[in-house]
Structure 1
Amino acid sequence: MSTTQIARYVICFAWLYHGIFPKLVHVAPLERLMVSSAGFSEEVSIMITRAAGVAEVLFGLMFFFLYKHKLINVLNILGLIGLLIAVYVLQPQLLIEAFNPVTTNIPLIALSYILLKESAEHKKS
């Protein structure tokens, strides 16, 4: 399997997994904490969390098919940076917990960077 395909599958898997399991199948306590800390009621927080889960699944599927496009990789990088900033603003203590957004988002950003570099090199040849 090529580096490109590994990066593609890992990024896609991360979006799908984080959209499906902690947001759609079971709303994880940390997901509730993040959204409710923005000032939303419990009911609204769950609705927002589930909507975010659907959006993450849709983005993961889009990424699977459009991974060669510069725009989808730039959106991935910007989205992951935005999510890191949201955690920093809403619940900064989560950045030093086990299995935190720093250790998931930064590697995914790096994988998108690899895809961008490989795509640019492929266009040169």
Structure 2
Amino acid sequence: MSNPDLLKMARWCRWMLAFVFIYHGLIPKLLFPSPVEMQMIEAAGLGLDAQVISSLAGVAEVLLGLVILFGWFGRWPVVAAALGLLGLLAGVARVTPALLVGAFNPVTTTLPALLLCVLIIRLEAGCNTAA
């Protein structure tokens, strides 16, 4: 596959991964706070206001999505996203495992996003080594 084709696929993957983070930051955290999000935060036992934590997480997700979208800082934000996704999935499994078996659950949203992270990293590495 040619270098421009790899770059185009990597760009599409970046756009989709950015969409996931921007959407999940804006919709269920900032614009329409999800009761499930609040329950997960409260179940974590942090002793902090769930609305505040959810809003801060939403802002962080939108910012991460924008950084990924525009390719700022190379692949590091994608690696950070992958590690964050794994950590959040483990947290949900520990704190509210019942959520893992419902429709449109964290497993079915996290694993495709992780695949996008892997594809971005591999495709962009291929662009740098393809001649």
Task: Determine if the TM-score, normalized by the shorter chain, exceeds 0.5.
Answer: yes
Once the two structures are TM-superposed, the CA of residue 50 in structure 1 deviates from its matched residue by: 0.7
User: For residue 10 of structure 1, what is the amino acid of its counterpart?
Assistant: M
Secondary structure, in 3 states, of the residue corresponding to 1:99?
coil
2-structure distance, mates of 1:102, 1:85: 10
2-structure distance, mates of 1:47, 1:71: 27
Indicate whether 1:32 and 2:38 are aligned: yes
Report how many residues are paired: 124
Structure-1-length-normalised TM-score: 0.91
User: For residue 67 of structure 2, what is the amino acid of its counterpart?
Assistant: M
The residue that corresponds to 1:4 in the other structure is 10
Deviates more, 1:66-75 or 1:27-36: 66-75
1-structure distance, mates of 2:60, 2:90: 18
Unaligned runs of 5+ in 2: none
Secondary structure, in 3 states, of the residue corresponding to 2:94?
helix
Unaligned runs of 5+ in 1: none
The residue that corresponds to 2:126 in the other structure is 121
User: Which runs of at least 4 in structure 1 moved beyond 3 Å after TM superposition?
Assistant: none
Q: Is the 8 A contact 1:7 1:111 kept in 2?
A: yes
2-structure distance, mates of 1:97, 1:28: 15
The alignment-based identity, stated in percent, is 36
Do the aligned partners of residues 67 and 6 (structure 1) sit closer, same or farther apart at CA in structure 2, a change above 3 Å counting? farther
Indicate whether 1:70 and 2:87 are aligned: no
